[in-house]
Amino acid sequence: MPNPLSYVLHTGTGSQTSFSFAGIDDYLSVTYIKVYLNDVLQTTGYTIDAANENVNFSPTAPASGVKVKIARETPTTSAGFTGNVVDFSNGSVLTAEDLDKGFKGLLHIVQEANDTGSGALGKTTDQLGWNAATLPVKNAGYAIDPTDLVTKAQMDAVSLYGASTIPQSWSTTGTGSQTSFTLTPAPSSTSADMFIVEVGGVIQRPTNDYSITTNAIVFTTAPGNGLGIRVRNFGVARNALDVVPSASITNAYMAANSISTSNIQDDAVTAAKLADNSVFTAAIQNDAVTQAKIADDAVGNDQMAPNSVGTTELITSAVTTPKIANNAITTAKFASGAVDTAALGLNAVALTNMKGVAFTGAGVERLLHIATTGELTAKTLSTIGFGGAVSANLDFAAGPYKCVNLGQPTSSGDAIRIADVFDGAQIANGWNVSTPYSTARRHLMFGTCTYNSSTLSGSPDINTFFLLSGSANANLSVKTGFGTWLVLYLTFNNSGALVRSGVSQLTTGGADLDLSDTSSSTTFFVAMRYS
């Protein structure tokens, strides 16, 4: 290519400040002289000496190696040419100067076009390619499409070490104590992950077993004496952005599953980048959702799992009366001894709801319990200690029951025992009170009739009472000398229902009181001698 006519080239030294543009083939105006440093147009930092045809840089000289281009750029637009070079008008006088000026202007434009365009790529002789005439292609952009021209920068980025070279390899031998081994030539990379290291034929783990410095390999544990050590470097770790500018990476160039966690910057994923319903249960760590992340009133009944609210989740006094459903608290929910007197309302416990237990207190409550529940047993009687004032009678209607282990009566208000009446045990086959009876005994006697016939005999005092009970088919008779008796009788069936009752008079030698029947029942007699 011939020397250009419209520009000159220089190379900076770091100290040279004046550069000549005398090599340019004339110019019509000093304003057409432009200055470039490495092909970048400069607008400050220099002055033009037209008389000596020099460009003087001040205050800073172009750096060493910088290309200094001084070019003539004649206006090429109609307005620029006629306004700055020459413009003829009707009736004007054509001078040689104007004609020459117009001619030079056109000549200069042609020269400038030739200097910048004559070297453009032309096709090869076979018209199948472009001929660069052994010149490098400058200022090419990064290749994006598969058919784009690839730059050296791109090739260096994907080459083994960022430069044209072959894989590196080193061999040495362990001493048993040495941990650091010099690598000559120096490794092109210090990334331990890009090295394959063997000790005695065993692959070592990067970072854990060794690290790479600028000129050595350092083992965590010294290789054994005589063990062969082989180190190979197969490249350098690099990011995809080192190969292609970030702006040129589109979805089309991203392989599936190519972006890992380490490629995402901290705090880079914002809420705007998350699709609706994109975060599911598996993506949330255990205990990751704190109270502050839950909106007020956000948790409803549908979000509560069955049995999810335990005792520890309830604050003290949190369950109020309105929160308890009617009939929700059952017997099983009461702890033993949990319901005391203060928790019961006045007259809250009906007699039908009382259970036969061994009372230890005193008063009418014990007696009412025993009398009305039908649970008077030998055990309860033997364990109840009577004391204090009694305001109700003991009812034996649910019998047959007896009081045992009574103490010796000592005052007029004490209960009597059968021994106190008869001086002995009851008679098995009916009652015969003529022998053991004594006027010194009390006039109240208890007994049990288990046979079809019960007999009142002897001669007790007037107003003597007998309280008797018998099974089915019971009858009662009065023998000689026993006087006249008034008898009250009550008969109950197995269900406790009263089936008959009445009052009858029995006299010595008269008819018996016959209450026999075929049902399973119990009859109670209260007999009193009155004459």
Give pairs for 441-450: CB < 8 Å, separation 24+. Answer: 441/416, 442/416, 444/416, 445/418, 445/421, 446/402, 446/418, 447/418, 448/400, 448/402, 449/474, 449/525
Share above pLDDT 90 across residues of the chain, in percent, rounded to a whole number: 23
> Does residue 356 contact residue 378 with C-beta atoms inside 8 Å?
no
Q: What is the pLDDT of residue 358?
A: 43
Q: What is the pLDDT of residue 72?
A: 94
Mean pLDDT of 48-52: 95
Taking only the tens place, the pLDDT of each residue in 266-292 is: 888 888 888 888 888 888 888 888 888
List % helix, strand, coil for the chain (3-state, nearest 5). 20, 20, 60
Question: 431: how many CB neighbours lie within 10 A of its CB?
Answer: 22
Higher pLDDT: 48 or 284? It is 48
Of 214, 213, 238, 233, give the one whose Cα is nearest residue 170.
Answer: 233
Q: What is the pLDDT of residue 386?
A: 44
Higher pLDDT: 74 or 246? It is 74
Q: What is the pLDDT of residue 440?
A: 36
Taking only the tens place, the pLDDT of each residue in 179-222 is: 999 999 998 888 888 899 999 999 999 999 999 999 999 999 99
Map tokens 């009916």 to a residue. Answer: 430
Distance, in Å, from the CA atom of 241 to the CA atom of 239, rounded to the nearest integer, reads 5
Share above pLDDT 70 across residues of the chain, in percent, rounded to a whole number: 67
Residue 470 has pLDDT above 70, yes or no: no
Distance, in Å, from the CA atom of 370 to the CA atom of 121, rounded to the nearest integer, reads 125
Q: What is the pLDDT of residue 376?
A: 45
Q: What is the pLDDT of residue 475?
A: 66
Buried b (16+ CB within 10 A) or exposed e, 94-110: eeeeeeeebebbeebbe
Of 21-30, 179-188, 250-259, least confident by mean pLDDT is 250-259
Estimate to the nearest angstrom the gap between the alpha carbon of 154 and the chain centroid. Answer: 48
Of 522, 523, 527, give the one whose Cα is nearest residue 505.
Answer: 527
Q: In the predicted model, what is the mean pLDDT of the chain?
A: 75
> Does residue 12 contact residue 64 with C-beta atoms inside 8 Å?
yes
Highest mean pLDDT among 24-38, 269-283, 374-388, 442-456: 24-38
Distance, in Å, from the CA atom of 399 to the CA atom of 378, rounded to the nearest integer, reads 11
Residue 361 has pLDDT above 70, yes or no: no
pTM given for the model: 0.32
**365, 368, 371, 374 alpha-carbon torsion, rounded to 10°:** -80
Taking only the tens place, the pLDDT of each residue in 416-426 is: 666 555 433 33
Of 55, 2, 58, give the one whose Cα is nearest residue 27.
Answer: 55
Q: What is the pLDDT of residue 448?
A: 40
Decide the pairing of beta strands 453-456 and 475-478: parallel
Q: With the C-alpha atoms ordered 157, 159, 164, 168, is the resulting torsion angle positive or negative? A: positive
Mean pLDDT of 28-37: 93
Taking only the tens place, the pLDDT of each residue in 81-115 is: 888 888 888 877 888 888 888 888 889 888 888 88
Map tokens 């600028």 to a residue. Answer: 214
Q: What is the pLDDT of residue 406?
A: 72
Amino acid (1-letter code) at residue 297: D
Q: What is the pLDDT of residue 319?
A: 87
> Does residue 351 contact residue 372 with C-beta atoms inside 8 Å?
yes
Q: What is the pLDDT of residue 54?
A: 96
CB contact set of 530 (below 8 Å; sequence gap of 6+)? 462, 463, 483, 484, 485, 486
pLDDT band at residue 432 using 50, 70 and 90 as cut-offs = very low
Estimate to the nearest angstrom the gap between the alpha carbon of 345 and the chain centroid. Answer: 47
Q: What is the pLDDT of residue 334?
A: 85
> Does residue 197 contact residue 179 with C-beta atoms inside 8 Å?
no
Residue 392 has pLDDT above 70, yes or no: no
Q: Compute the C-alpha angle 166/168/172, nearest 5°.
A: 155
Phi and psi at 22, nearest 5°, equal -65, -20
Q: What is the pLDDT of residue 145?
A: 84
**Alpha helices, DSSP H, located in 8-158:** 78-84, 96-117, 152-158
> Does residue 515 contact residue 447 with C-beta atoms inside 8 Å?
no
Helix (H, G, I), strand (E, B) or coil at 342: helix
Distance, in Å, from the CA atom of 336 to the CA atom of 284, rounded to the nearest integer, reads 45
